Structure 1
């Protein structure tokens, strides 16, 4: 006996015993789709008849091959679908069955007749067994596809849960920070902090001078690679292809169809984490401790995986019809509206993938954002139409609901009082000071940022600004003049002494690092990164805890000191925070004035001054004695005498590596290193911390980085 007939015989014997209540119905429904039964209409889910008995009679003859329980369940389901008497829905199964048995024709005769059939089709036992095996394999594959999709979506949830529990354990079990264990130190040095390759992370990779991408951290890269590997494994895992269905479909076509179905289901289920990562994620940020850049990175890689699965879905469907050799059926299927919308959805997703490249976001962010939203809307609308006849369209509803809730919460936060707020905008050198006065004050923590809608410019687009300080229910931000909104804000402020603008405020967002728990704190800021760093310095000063805090700010022009002069003066009014301002343009100035020579590396050590870390060097080790503001007042007439003695000014570049090394070698049980500034500076600080970490355990050293400024 040929192999496939043996499998058919085995399947036929098992049908009555193992047929699920829905599988018998699905088998007969799928089988009857190939016939042109008079008065019936067909879609992807059901075939119903509303004007003749041919479908009802054919259906009863088909389900007769099922077990008694499954047969009655299938007939009851049919009666609920077809309720008119002409369809037989009010007749008993036995009446319709015996009537159909007398007047039925064979499947071969039915397939050779032209036009619609006027008699019931009687399916043979062998053909029913083959169709049953095919539907059983299809149902198994669909079930496995949903399991695999749930695992992929749950992967990100598991990763967030691990981060949350780690953060919870850190706060509960290490209220008093002590030495770090060997394993924890090794993970920190070789997995958490390092970039995937080299020392570059924040600074983008350049190709012919064009920024194309940034290199993720090692733990981020490993997380994304594992996610992609899981997706690829699931795409090619067991498809439950069965030879018992060979009378219906060959195994190669079956595999192509199952691959298409699986990749499509997995792509739809990936919508849930995709839109979760696309939101503001204020709650998840606080829970996991992840930065906004981390959520965006995972959003991008989830989107790339989704597009890959969508392309596999399209290729699989095409391969299935080409292998079947029925080109006319393929064209007819593709030209159906429901499938055309699927093509539109895949095209929109590919366009999103192209326009979301790093270079477009960096240089044309506002255009990128508008186009990104428009294409995303087109994608979801066309995908919804494409999935209209599939039950797993509900995964799309879940995803859109998550995103809609995030948007709704953001809108509620704006409408709850901040919609009536205003901001005073002052031009200050090449920066803009924004003093926000919301109608309803909110609780602010250091390191947080807010999104501002400047109604004069754009009512629907917001931009993030770090909050440097809060005073008298006013929130102070400083924005460096660049392209887009910051340039327009500065231009309006320059035109008049004070520019008052209506704003909508959404926030605050972002996580706060527990720097107050460490014995020593090193705050490093570059340029406009001072806005995030100064908020921590003010917080530590107001806490009044006797920590050893060194505050380092590297800025190009000394006029920029006026950005946060009052805050610098405030944090300098104590004996445990020592402030060092490095004016990097002073190198050229000093060289022109032939002052004492400086290190040509353009870097200095914090050891040049006696700091709270009590690091003493001989006078010969000083690079040069820096001038004071007494003879070099800035454009605002501010001199060094304006600041307390704990605020020191230097006129050269700080040697980041030596500052970090000296701070880490200081005798204290714990040290927090915080950095916010230009991307090159962030990479330099990170590399210095990694280089000086001891992976064998010992002193607890944690590195924190802020990407918003």
Structure 2
């Protein structure tokens, strides 16, 4: 589509903003045109203090309102508009009233502005003539219109993101209904167009297949979105670019508000860009919230919402930089930069931009210092929002800030209610359960194992995760963890976490110092969150885990091992050492004994086989209390273990796809490089499957 045609279509959309002018009444226009039309130096006055004491200036404003206010408007409205303008101009210094102006007019009369210049010093009240009034009215109307278009354009950008969520949700619902009505047709090999879409759009990353692995440029760590996500993000960016820099109406020389065409255009661009940025704050906030209703509508993963949240935040921040830069250019052309620097809106705006920039910048420390990042991010975002409120206060755009705070507050309220409901037994009479949530924690080879008990019975689903707070450490810190089945009767679930930084590092140090095999901590659990992939629908499933990523994959294997369905399922797990296998011993036994899941475990660490052989038949004193069986590692599991090698995902996926008799689901979770390799091989080989192929990725990129 040619660009001019696209711009015309967008112009039609912006014309829909016409109803927004209903927000401004004819009385509002009359008041502002009267206020802005009098730029004479009445009685030689050169400042507002002098003008406020000038009966000729005050009476001129009165006669303008009397003449040009809408016909039939009540006198009280005249007086109200008079007070509004004079209070803004004069503050408490104004001593002249509306009635004083009427009396002064009756006594002294008035003159027209026909032969007056801006430097004139009239000593009588002045009435703007009809022709000048009409021109000034049009200039004022289009100035407001250009700003109101910004509001509606910002609303359209928000609507665009919501529509993307709805399209995704509708697609998932249609697939589900289609599957229930005719599973064989729904999972049959899709047509050529659908396969091309998968091969070139839905499966690849933005560039090639590097998606889960972090890339580093000049010390900045980033992850690339998928190509599908990139298309949605590009559409949002394109809308922002077009809306911010096209279609400014009635820009001309001799504008009565701004003077020159250049200053008028600078002011319009600065205002519209700032307005659009302000209208994006609610959707920007919503994309980051845990209780985000768009998650339920779209079915998107947390990783996808994070990708859109980061993209929208960058677009908004660029808008703020443009807004500030163009405003500086405008004031430089008006030679009133000094006045700008002393205005409260300038410093509140500068504070907001700096705080917003820091909130984005600390994301580079997210991976290494998650708790520090989270606290700093929340603090500086809050500072930015408060500064934004003070910046736009009185300009008519505080509604976006109010909505932003309302969404944020609602999320915190829902989280608080969720925590109270899950972790306390105030509303339950079950004496067999704990009164408040607790976790028996142990340290196994650098991995923290939490056997969690909560007052509320749990029936978690694969793919779900929770946030955990530990009361005896920093109670405001929380980390997300995937759930696996508990070891003991009464356990709600088990969490396995690799000791890294922040909360897990503190827990590991606490556990290292103890002489006992485990410690019990009072905790709070928030959740569950996450989406469940319908792997049971497919004729074959390939479940691939790397390291502690097994926590997201193992529940799927357990679920499929319990279901009475005809499906070929293969569970592949790559680990460095035997510790994680010991932790998951009981679950692995159940999966293998069911005979429904083919299990392959690859232990890549050096000397692990020698270590196993030396310990075979013995109880490891460090892990016996943590193992799922009394004799360490069972032979039934070890028969499925290969030492000293990593699997070739290219070969493994190609074999599974070539042997598949129908549809195939692939689920992976683990290191970024591993998941990118799997994504690449799925995209390369999926056309060899005689059925639909879906790739589901569980990414720990919170």
TM tier, shorter chain? 0.7 to 0.9
Match of 1:271 in 2: 281
Instruction: Indicate if the aligned counterparts of 1:572 and 1:647 stay in contact, CA closer than 8 A.
Output: no
SS at match of 2:584: helix
Matched, 1:61 2:63: yes
Match of 1:435 in 2: 451
Instruction: Using structure 2 for the length normalisation, give the TM-score.
Output: 0.83
Match of 1:150 in 2: 155
Counterparts of 1:271-310 in structure 2, within 5 Å, are 271-281=281-291, 283-310=293-320
- In the TM superposition, what is the alpha-carbon distance from 1:270 to its structure 2 partner? 0.9
Cα offsets for 1:454-513 (capped at 9, x unmatched) = 122212121001001256351111111222211222222332322111111110001111
SS at match of 2:443: strand
Counterparts of 1:162-201 in structure 2, within 5 Å, are 162-175=167-180, 176=183, 177-182=186-191, 183-201=193-211
**Could you list the runs of 5+ residues in structure 1 that have no partner in the other structure?**
1-17, 594-625
SS at match of 2:601: strand
Match of 1:571 in 2: 591
Match of 1:490 in 2: 508
Counterparts of 1:351-370 in structure 2, within 5 Å, are 351-357=358-364, 360-370=365-375
Instruction: Indicate if the aligned counterparts of 2:253 and 2:260 stay in contact, CA closer than 8 A.
Output: no
- In the TM superposition, what is the alpha-carbon distance from 1:61 to its structure 2 partner? 2.8
Instruction: Indicate if the aligned counterparts of 2:42 and 2:57 stay in contact, CA closer than 8 A.
Output: no
Matched, 1:664 2:660: no
Match of 1:513 in 2: 533
Equivalent in 222, 237, 240 of residue 231 of structure 1: 240
Moved more, 102-111 or 241-250: 102-111
Matched, 1:503 2:495: no
Instruction: Using structure 1 for the length normalisation, give the TM-score.
Output: 0.82
- Taking a change above 3 Å as real, the CA distance of residues 516 and 118 of structure 1, as seen in their structure-2 partners, is farther
Match of 1:687 in 2: 680
Residues in 1 aligned to 2:389 and 2:633: alpha-carbon distance in whole angstroms: 66
- In the TM superposition, what is the alpha-carbon distance from 1:369 to its structure 2 partner? 1.9
Counterparts of 1:461-472 in structure 2, within 5 Å, are 461-470=477-486, 472=490
SS at match of 1:373: helix
Match of 2:574 in 1: 554
Counterparts of 1:17-416 in structure 2, within 5 Å, are 20-32=26-38, 57-63=59-65, 66=68, 70-73=70-73, 76-81=76-81, 99=106, 102-103=109-110, 120-175=125-180, 176=183, 177-182=186-191, 183-207=193-217, 212-243=221-252, 245-248=254-257, 249-281=259-291, 283-324=293-334, 327=335, 329-357=336-364, 360-416=365-421
SS at match of 1:434: strand
Equivalent in 512, 531, 545 of residue 525 of structure 1: 545
- In the TM superposition, what is the alpha-carbon distance from 1:633 to its structure 2 partner? 8.6
Residues in 2 aligned to 1:302 and 1:431: alpha-carbon distance in whole angstroms: 36
SS at match of 1:346: helix
- Taking a change above 3 Å as real, the CA distance of residues 647 and 441 of structure 1, as seen in their structure-2 partners, is farther
Residues in 2 aligned to 1:339 and 1:36: alpha-carbon distance in whole angstroms: 30
- In the TM superposition, what is the alpha-carbon distance from 1:417 to its structure 2 partner? 4.0
Residues in 2 aligned to 1:340 and 1:107: alpha-carbon distance in whole angstroms: 41
SS at match of 2:687: coil
Instruction: Indicate if the aligned counterparts of 2:153 and 2:243 stay in contact, CA closer than 8 A.
Output: yes
**Count of matched residue pairs:** 640
Instruction: Indicate if the aligned counterparts of 2:155 and 2:279 stay in contact, CA closer than 8 A.
Output: yes
Match of 2:493 in 1: 475
Residues in 2 aligned to 1:204 and 1:100: alpha-carbon distance in whole angstroms: 79
- In the TM superposition, what is the alpha-carbon distance from 1:365 to its structure 2 partner? 2.2
SS at match of 2:570: strand
SS at match of 1:704: strand
Residues in 2 aligned to 1:317 and 1:240: alpha-carbon distance in whole angstroms: 19
SS at match of 2:598: strand
- Taking a change above 3 Å as real, the CA distance of residues 521 and 393 of structure 1, as seen in their structure-2 partners, is same
Of structures 1 and 2, the one scoring higher in RCO (CA 8 A, sep 6+) is 1
Residues in 2 aligned to 1:36 and 1:201: alpha-carbon distance in whole angstroms: 67
- Taking a change above 3 Å as real, the CA distance of residues 96 and 145 of structure 1, as seen in their structure-2 partners, is farther
Matched, 1:704 2:687: no
Residues in 1 aligned to 2:83 and 2:695: alpha-carbon distance in whole angstroms: 69
**Could you list the runs of 5+ residues in structure 2 that have no partner in the other structure?**
1-23, 85-93, 425-435
Matched, 1:534 2:554: yes
Moved more, 286-295 or 238-247: 238-247
Residues in 2 aligned to 1:283 and 1:473: alpha-carbon distance in whole angstroms: 30
Match of 1:676 in 2: 669
Residues in 1 aligned to 2:268 and 2:172: alpha-carbon distance in whole angstroms: 42
- In the TM superposition, what is the alpha-carbon distance from 1:199 to its structure 2 partner? 2.3
